[in-house]
Amino acid sequence: MKSFTATCHPEPANGGRRISTASACRSVRPSAGPLASIILAALFVVLPAPTPAQNPATMMPEASATKAKQLLAQMIDAMGGQAFLNFRESQCTGRMSEFGHNADLTSYLEFKEYWRYPNLNRTDFGKKGNIIDLFLGNDGWTMDHDGVSEEPSERVFEFQDKLRKDPKHLLRYRLKEEGMAFRYGGQDLIDLKPVDWVELTDSDGRTYRIAVQRESHLLVRYTVITKDTESGDLIEEVTSYSNYHPLDGVQTPLQAVRTRNGRRMFQAFYDSCTYHPNLAPDFFTKAALERRFDEVGSRADKKKAGKGRD
């Protein structure tokens, strides 16, 4: 009985597409009938050619911007979509570490952080919450052992600068800002996982680099590059996010680490977050801090604060 012999191809066929040839030269007897045709077809399954990585340096500006916006849309969807875009308040608790000039640990505090978006922020420090920073756009107040007082102007400026660089603020409120430029930044590996970089530049010259993990589409690294107004040197702040959990429909990283020009500045471990805290209408006011001081301030603190007002 004659046998049918498949032809071996030393080079890929079909215009360079890879062909599966695991048993390409085995014999198939005609007596097998339709089964022979099935086996023969399986031996020569045409596999799609791998998609080459796009080189951001050779992409036209329009194509680069389009890809960057597509990646951001995927990321926002993965972060919770409308739940991420529409929440108006948040309350998170955790532990915060801050580091000095030599990268040594300078403090380790429990904290509660509250937001009423877009620009009201309050952070209560310590187990009793007896140290509070409160910012309301262009104003700020602080509560400490001396009572309630205005934040220094430089602290208010720091908050405003921090707000403009905050990733939630950027993604929720600033993407349609006039003068915002988008660019695809290419592929990379972070913690051995592939990411795509998106780069944004605002009208003030700040550059934002966003690493979107290719598998989960979540934000894993966020870099802000600015220029020191006095020295002209570049300042690069890098924040890494990890340990994501879905809370109230929003994917929330429970660990964040920030460095500035390679030096560790901040680390936070979050215990919980909610995006529906139902805070009191006057929670972000000076009066709220004065009431809080009456609750947690010691007798000596209140006496000292009273003398300061005389």
Domain segments of the chain as ranges? 4-43, 56-139+162-279
Domain 56-139+162-279 annotated CATH 1.20.58.1000: no
**Mean pLDDT, the chain, whole residue set:** 84
Helix (H, G, I), strand (E, B) or coil at 39: helix
Which range has the worst mean pLDDT, 92-96, 282-286, 288-292, 302-306?
302-306
The pLDDT assigned to 98 comes to: 73
Q: Residue 301 in contact with residue 146, Cβ under 8 Å?
A: yes
299 pLDDT tier (thresholds 50, 70, 90)? low
Take residue 166 and report the two structure tokens written for it.
Answer: 């905050």
First to last CA, the chain: 115
DSSP 3-state of 306: helix
Distances 285 to 113, 148, 255 between C-alpha atoms, Å: 15, 11, 29
* pLDDT of 44 above 90: no
Q: How far apart are CA 232 and CA 228, in angstroms?
A: 5
Residue 161 pLDDT exceeds 80? yes
